[in-house]
Each structure stands twice: as structure tokens, then as C-alpha cells.
Amino acid sequence: MKYKILVSLLFISSVLVSCQDKKADNNSNTIVVKESSAGLQFNQDVNTMLKKQLEYGKPSFDNPYQYSEKDLEVTIPILNQLLLDNGYKVISNEEFNTKIKQIFSRIIDQKSSNKFLYVNFIDKCDRALNYVPNNAENNGVFVVKNQNFITDLYPLPTIIEYQKTYAETAQEENTASKNYKDASGNEVKKYLWKDVSNLKEQKKKNIQTLIARNLYLFNDNKAQYKWLVLNDPYFMESLVKTFGYTQDADLLKWVVERTKFNKKDPSDYGKLFWIKDCNEGIRLHVNTFKELQKLYLPNDSSENRFILNNIKEYLEYLENNENAESKTLTETDKVKIMANLVYFAEQYKYDSSYKDGTRMMGRLRFFLGDSSRDILQKNNYFGLPKFKEWWDNADYDEYFVEECEYNGTCGPDNQPMNITEWRKKHPKK
């Protein structure tokens, strides 16, 4: 592929929160957690694990606590009761399995003795059970089989009022040392859970998140949507960009409108359009193209007027063989992605109300070398109905973008030929 950029293109900075989000009413930022019996009744298994967690204190780099499956197990009855008391309707195993596959592309094996699946948000293809609470280096959720909900791994002090139900154990924490000696004999400071200043707020947020995620994903409770996009944006955006879940139109629209091409993180824009599955195949997001078609309107003054410019910049990034995608995609997959992007954009060339001058198909013709063109033909232009017609019509656009944007010297004293002049020298075959 040929590639040489001599002129800079329009740069659109990424907008973290859409204007729509900013206008959200005050109620959308609050989930009222109902009174629950969860965690109020003394349980010896919980007490034993709580003692252990309180003894270590809040984990830190110098004072790591090795969480295990047991740490998760003791929280499940508590979390399950919290959900039930707040209106969660447990769906059937069959329906839950279907949802997990649709949303996270994971298959639940009911014959497996494992009680949990771990969905890794950092590396979606890593299926190992990761018993570490979410932090800067770890992020994921556990799928709880048979009880049919998802949850983070929560330390007990962040989901129960342990000072009330487990007062005796809490009293032991009050007299616990704030220092300990590590394996090397060095004295290390401990951060006791009782001294965490915002522990009450953490607990509230954890419970709100648990309820909102499960009601939204598995009970189709759309009332939770606004709270989640305002308070749990990483999770919501990851559903689309990491796992390719595009079936929720409101969620997809929110992700699309807050995602612009960013030269500092160019791969991120591509996550709107395609995903590489763990079987190494790629999956194109048809729903994204449908959503963009709704958003891209003539004479629009909003940020959406830059949609084609964003696609153009991503296309140029994708064409460069030095990018990360070129190291992981086959040439066929790469051409397929580029062809679909261009096919979407090229439709606006043929609608005079848009006054489109991106010359996207001509740009693709300029980018693709012989082997990539062969791939287009051998794959029948990937089944895109008008692609061949538009490709053949874009020969002048290929000349124009090469002459004026990439390898040429267009300027006041060196104007390109107009299409009539050029066609005389290059008649249609």
C-alpha cells in the first residue's frame, strides 16, 4: 500500500461527556437502594472471612492481601439478597446464558463444576479466574452461575455495615496494630478499613452499581441506563468497544457520540466498527453504521457533522502498515474493514444535500496496492451492492487526492485538472 501524507487533516478532540449527559436531571444521578436484610444476620463464614480481611486492612502495594474464591463465595448470598430486595427478577438459566453470550461473547458450561466465570475487561480472551478486586491494573466481573447475576469481587467492609452485625470482630479491629513486618523484616504501615474516610460512600456506590448493572442487562430495566452512563461509564463503554455489544440502540448512540478520532489513541475509534474475537476472526458492527446514518444529517451544526472526517482520519491511520492493527489483522480482514468504512462514507457523494468532498472511494483506490485490489475482486467486494460501481466512478477522485493531498503539489499556481479535462486523457474503459 502507498502512503505519504503531506497535508494535515482536521483534528477533533475526544469529548468525554456529551451535551446530553450534561443536561441530565438531578434524579438520574441517584439510585435509591431499598432497605435489605442482606448482611444484617450474623453468619459464621462471613465472620471468619471478615476477621481475615480486617486483620490485613485495606490492601496496598506494600500490604497485599491474597483474595481467593472463598472471599467471593461468602459475598454471594449477601449480594443476591441485595438484588432481590431491590427488585431484581432472576431469569432462567437458558435466558441468562443467552444474555451472557450476547453481551460478553462467553459461553456458560452448565456441566462444569466451576461456580463462576470471570469476564476480563483488560484482556477479554483471558479466561482465568482473577480473584483481585478491581483497581488500576485489574478490571472485570464475575458471572455467578445458577444464581444468574454478575458482580465485582468486593471486600466485605465495602458491602456490609460490619461494625453493627459483627461488632465483636469490629472491636478487634479497633485494637489492631497499624503496622506489621513484611517477609524481609521491614515494618510496613497498614491501612485499617475503619479508617477509610469514604467507606460509607464506597459501600453505597458498590451496591448501586451491582443493582443498576443487573437490572439493566438482565431485566431490561432502562431506568438504570442514565445512572450507569453517568456513574459507570468505563463499564458501559466497554460493553461496546471491548465486547462488541451493539444491540442496545441508546447505549450505542451514547458511545458513538462520545468517541471521536484521536491521534493520541487512533485505535479507539476503530472499536466502534469492528472487533477481533478470541477465535481470531473479525466481527463488523453493522449497527454502528446504522446509527451513524441516523446521526449524519445535512446542514447539522453539531459534532456529528465531523463523522466523515473522523472516518477519513481513521482510514488513513488504518492504511499505514506501521500501526498496531496491521500487526494483528490479516490483509483480507484489513481490506474488508476499509471497504466497509468507505462504502458507508461514499453514499454521501451521491446526495447533493450533503455537499461531501471527502472523495473516500478515490482515497481507498489510492491506498490499495495490487494485492489488496485482488482481495476486493476475489471476495466480490465483500457483497457490498454498489461498491464496484462506485469504485469505477472514483478514478478521477483517486487522481485528485493523490495530486492535491498526498504526492502532488496543488496550489494557487498549480491547479489540478477538472474532471472534464482529466476524462479526455483518461477515457472510461
Specify burial of residue 205 (Cβ count, 10 A radius: 0-12, 13-18, 19+): middle
Supply the pLDDT for residue 323: 87
Mean pLDDT of 167-187: 88
25 pLDDT above the threshold of 80? no
| Residue 303 CA from chain centroid, whole number | 21
* pTM summary value: 0.89
**Alpha-carbon gap, residue 8 to 405, rounded angstroms:** 9
The answer to whether residue 321 sits within a structural domain is yes
The answer to whether 152 and 130 have CB atoms below 8 angstroms apart is no
The answer to whether 75 and 154 have CB atoms below 8 angstroms apart is yes
**Residue 20 — very low, low, confident or very high, per pLDDT cuts 50/70/90?**
very low
The answer to whether residue 201 sits within a structural domain is yes
Supply the pLDDT for residue 186: 84
Instruction: Name every residue whose Cβ is closer than 8 Å to that of residue 67 and which is 6 or more positions away in sequence.
Output: 131, 132, 133, 153
Supply the pLDDT for residue 28: 57
Instruction: Give the count of beta carbons closer than 10 Å to the beta carbon of residue 69.
Output: 14
Same domain, 140 and 54: yes
Instruction: Give the count of beta carbons closer than 10 Å to the beta carbon of residue 198.
Output: 9
Supply the pLDDT for residue 245: 98
The answer to whether 63 and 188 have CB atoms below 8 angstroms apart is yes
Kindly report the CA angle at 214 between 210 and 216, in degrees rounded to 5?
120
Supply the pLDDT for residue 62: 75
116 pLDDT above the threshold of 60? yes
The answer to whether residue 366 sits within a structural domain is yes
Same domain, 198 and 54: yes
Same domain, 45 and 163: yes
The answer to whether 2 and 369 have CB atoms below 8 angstroms apart is yes
The answer to whether residue 307 sits within a structural domain is yes
22 pLDDT above the threshold of 50? no
Same domain, 91 and 194: yes
The answer to whether residue 8 sits within a structural domain is no
Same domain, 271 and 410: yes
6 pLDDT above the threshold of 60? no
Mean pLDDT of 401-414: 85
Alpha helices (H) in 23-179, listed in sequence order: 44-56, 69-73, 76-85, 93-104, 162-165, 167-174
Same domain, 193 and 243: no
Same domain, 53 and 181: yes
Same domain, 182 and 93: yes
Better-predicted residue by pLDDT, 79 or 31: 79
Instruction: Give the count of beta carbons closer than 10 Å to the beta carbon of residue 318.
Output: 23
The answer to whether residue 362 sits within a structural domain is yes
Supply the pLDDT for residue 124: 97
Supply the pLDDT for residue 29: 62
298 pLDDT above the threshold of 70? yes
pLDDT in tens, 240-275: 999 999 999 999 999 999 999 999 999 999 999 999
pLDDT in tens, 346-404: 999 999 999 999 999 999 999 999 999 999 999 999 999 999 999 999 999 999 999 99
Same domain, 102 and 46: yes
Same domain, 182 and 94: yes
Mean pLDDT of 304-311: 97
Residues spanned by the domain of 123: 31-211
Q: What's the chain's average pLDDT?
A: 91
The answer to whether residue 19 sits within a structural domain is no
- Structural domain count of the chain: 2
For residue 123, which phi and psi values (nearest 5 degrees)? -135, 95
Q: Where does a domain end: 164, 196, 211?
A: 211
**Alpha-carbon gap, residue 225 to 344, rounded angstroms:** 29
The answer to whether residue 52 sits within a structural domain is yes
Q: Where does a domain end: 141, 176, 211?
A: 211
Measured CA to CA in angstroms, residue 194 lies from 48, 132, 134, 157, 180 at distances of 17, 21, 20, 9, 17
Share of the chain above pLDDT 90, in %: 78
pLDDT in tens, 192-246: 999 999 999 999 999 999 999 999 999 999 999 999 999 999 999 999 999 999 9
Same domain, 152 and 110: yes
Supply the pLDDT for residue 7: 30
Same domain, 182 and 277: no
Better-predicted residue by pLDDT, 85 or 17: 85
Kindly report the CA angle at 351 between 348 and 357, in degrees rounded to 5?
50
